[in-house]
Structure 1
Amino acid sequence: MLLHIRGRGEFAHQHDAATRREIGRRLAALKGFRFDGEHDAGRDYPGPLYLVPSDTILSDEASALGIAGEGDLFGGVVPHAFVATKAITHPLVDPGAEAPPGWSHDFARHMEGAVVEGFTAFTLDDARRAALRLLERGPLRLKPVLATSGRGQVTVRDETELDARLGALDTDGLSEVGLVLEEDLADVETYSVGQVRLDDLLVSYVGTQGTTPNARGEAVYGGSDLLFARGGFDALLDFDLPQPIRLAVIQASQYDAAALECFPGLFASRRNYDVAQGINCRDRRCSGVLEQSWRLGGATGAEIAALEAFLADTGLEQARASTVERYGGSGRPPAGATIYFQGTDDVEGPMVKYAVIAP
């Protein structure tokens, strides 16, 4: 059986393409498949394939590729494009607000108490109404749903600033994928909670992610430090976790279950949820899921390292693994690390990306 990686167009960064290829090679080794490189839609493949896509796949596309369930890919399949984004995290400003086909009002009811306060809008008028309601309580964050790693997000403090920000928005696709408006939190700690299935092996994890300066001095993703358990989210809760981390796992598992129930046709072998905990403008501590990822992510190197460890030792019940990304020639990989990229990227300059499993 062949294992293919699959992307959409060319990567802007060499390190992303190199990382994706190495992930494909390592997954192929774990499954006993032959790694066959980039998938070619115009080629006729004689046998079944296992795909490692860089994006969440739509149901119609998955069907055309022969993907029938989570055992056929490392990633996820959704019935509508907006389901793969942070748009599903929040309700509409009112039941009569505009929404694309397939929108679930039930999802918001399932998530009460497990997300921070906010709304999703699919028109500028609905976005303005939602923002004015949030501004009555304090500042908000305006979040384009297709942006990653916090890019494109802005803080809005008053109506004048709101109108300027909404007027500057690129509204292409707004009616299909939406815009998120969310209360602004201070002193935020973000936890990563996730789950990965490879054949009969299921592992779940929780941990933190950090930032690091890139060559331009910008704070970008710098890696994740994760605790893994063999089994589902309940296996993590069997550990003696600090209360904030335990709450993050509970909220992420609630989000995961609600998404599977409210969006028929959704399935995923790789699931990741960002849970933010911080202080709102009323000096109240809040915790809630920000968004989901059912595709390759920054933590995937650590996920692969954990899968390798659990498959190598059937008696292993927990493990700790990390991913690290460093720029400018710093961050020499330790002995035993799996290096995903080490060299000079055309855009980012000198950098290194690696994963390491704790003893």
Structure 2
Amino acid sequence: MDPSVLSPPAIPPVPVVLVHLEECRAARAGHEVGTLRELARQIAELKGTGVAGEFDPTLTCAAHPYLIPDHTLTLTEAHRLGVRSVRDLFGGVVPFPFVATKLIAHPLTEDAQVAPPGWSRLFGEHTASLVLPGYSAFSHDDACNAARRLWRDGPVRIKRPSGIGGAGQSLVANMDELETELAALGEAALRTEGIVVERNLDPIETLSVGQVTLDELVVSYYGVQHLTMNNHGHRVYGGTDLIAVRGGFDMLARLDLTSDINEAIRKARAFDAAVQNDYAGFFASRCNYDVAWGTDAQGARQCGVLEQSWRVGGATGAEIGALRTFRADPLAYAVSASTREIYGDDVQLPDGASIVYQGVDPHAGAITKYYTVDRHILQGSADR
């Protein structure tokens, strides 16, 4: 008899988990890097291994690396780092850098003169009903033309493509104000980075819709973000409350949800599908889409995807908490999980809190980040 017949099947080697720093490289002592390292440790624990440190291209790994990068990778970076699929990283891979930014949440105007290499006009057609009214632009003239179209219905909001938490935005009501914003950016940067010109909504509410994949486990969720006061007296991101389910986006639809939440989930799912269809090479094991509702100057209600994140984010602690729950309890299909970011020294942690970061950041000051999980199984049925 062939001895190989009696041999047990080969067990894939446990990957070595590595943190890959690029955007946070200059702030190795800050809370962002500290948070990334702790989240990486907890992800490695879920995978049954440990964190081997930071990725070093000059060293050869004994095992296949599983990367946790601080930014969305491009295909070029992914190939260089050995990332081939969602099983190789916690994050995402895009064919061109602009795909990872807010820019793809809006089309170019029909008569736009400038577009970056790889821009998909077809994607803009597929997502027109899924996003808020607005345009992306890569030149002074294209930005002005986009603003003129939107000014017919009130003020417009100018957004830098990589702004986080409301940073890099301004409200412009006329050409003089727009010219000031464009001059501050500069034509060269405008052609390289682009800009978003979007109809202003006031008031506005935002819901997050996301999905994470870790090995064989898929978790999908929706969540509400909260603001808090930082050590400098500014209102900033303060955490997210998630409702997470075992499985894909279709499992969220089986919960008893309001029409607004169902609409947000539907638009996020369709946006995600359009990215996969229209930008070849894209894949992600961590997706998060911000969907907004608001009222424009004409009193019309608008709902659409604002932006996307395919990297570790503010809600990742809660995502890990949900992954842990579903891994530990095969019967659980829906849980609630929350993250919190609290500034200052006097922090009272709730029972069962898992700390993600606690320390004094050189710029942000004293800050504590943690997450909690409510193991209560929500009403409804996964078989409904």
Q: TM-score range by the shorter chain?
A: over 0.9
The CA deviation at 1:172 is 4.9
Per the alignment, in what secondary structure is the counterpart of residue 176 of structure 1? helix
**Change in CA separation of 1:189 and 1:71 when aligned onto 2, cut-off 3 Å:** same
Letter of the aligned partner of 1:328 in structure 2? Answer: G
Aligned to 1:21: 37
Aligned to 1:217: 233
The CA deviation at 1:12 is 7.2
What is the distance in 2 between the residues matched to 1:63 and 1:288? 33
**2:293 and 2:301 in contact (8 A); partners too:** yes
String of CA shifts for 1:158-196, please: whole Å, max 9, x gaps: 122112222222455432331101000001110010000
Aligned to 1:248: 264
Match of 1:37 among 31, 47, 53: 53
Query: Is it true that 1:147 corresponds to 2:163 in the alignment?
Result: yes
What is the distance in 1 between the residues matched to 2:26 and 2:174? 40
Letter of the aligned partner of 2:169 in structure 1? Answer: Q
Aligned to 1:47: 63
Query: Is it true that 1:296 corresponds to 2:312 in the alignment?
Result: yes
Bigger mean CA offset, 174-183 vs 236-245: 174-183
What is the distance in 2 between the residues matched to 1:241 and 1:67? 37
The CA deviation at 1:95 is 4.8
What is the distance in 1 between the residues matched to 2:292 and 2:140? 26
Aligned to 1:208: 224
Match of 1:350 among 353, 366, 369: 366
What is the distance in 1 between the residues matched to 2:335 and 2:346? 26
- Quick one: percent identity of the two aligned structures? 45
The CA deviation at 1:343 is 2.4
Aligned to 1:5: 19
Runs of 5+ consecutive residues of structure 2 not aligned to the other structure: 1-14, 376-384
String of CA shifts for 1:275-311, please: whole Å, max 9, x gaps: 0101111101110000000001100111011101110
- The count of corresponding residues between Structure 1 and Structure 2 is 359
The CA deviation at 1:270 is 0.2
Per the alignment, in what secondary structure is the counterpart of residue 203 of structure 2? strand
RMSD: 1.3
* TM-score scaled by length of structure 2: 0.91
* TM-score scaled by length of structure 1: 0.97
String of CA shifts for 1:27-80, please: whole Å, max 9, x gaps: 111111231111112222233100000100010111111111111000000110
What is the distance in 2 between the residues matched to 1:191 and 1:102? 29
What is the distance in 1 between the residues matched to 2:28 and 2:145? 36
What is the distance in 2 between the residues matched to 1:183 and 1:148? 18
Query: Is it true that 1:266 corresponds to 2:282 in the alignment?
Result: yes
Higher Rg of the two aligned structures: 2
Letter of the aligned partner of 2:121 in structure 1? Answer: H
- Residue correspondence of structure 1 range 1-359 to structure 2 within 5 A: 1-8=15-22, 9-11=25-27, 14-359=30-375
**Change in CA separation of 1:13 and 1:322 when aligned onto 2, cut-off 3 Å:** farther
**2:245 and 2:252 in contact (8 A); partners too:** yes
**1:279 and 1:286 in contact (8 A); partners too:** yes
What is the distance in 2 between the residues matched to 1:139 and 1:265? 37
**2:90 and 2:286 in contact (8 A); partners too:** yes
**2:290 and 2:308 in contact (8 A); partners too:** yes
Aligned to 2:4: none
**2:153 and 2:296 in contact (8 A); partners too:** no
Aligned to 2:11: none
What is the distance in 1 between the residues matched to 2:315 and 2:346? 20
**1:143 and 1:181 in contact (8 A); partners too:** yes
Runs of 5+ consecutive residues of structure 1 not aligned to the other structure: none
Runs of 4+ in 1 over 6 A off after TM superposition: none
Letter of the aligned partner of 1:259 in structure 2? Answer: V
Letter of the aligned partner of 2:18 in structure 1? Answer: H
**1:323 and 1:353 in contact (8 A); partners too:** yes
Letter of the aligned partner of 2:340 in structure 1? Answer: V
**Change in CA separation of 1:26 and 1:12 when aligned onto 2, cut-off 3 Å:** closer
**Change in CA separation of 1:58 and 1:44 when aligned onto 2, cut-off 3 Å:** same
Letter of the aligned partner of 1:87 in structure 2? Answer: L
**1:13 and 1:347 in contact (8 A); partners too:** no
What is the distance in 2 between the residues matched to 1:330 and 1:154? 34
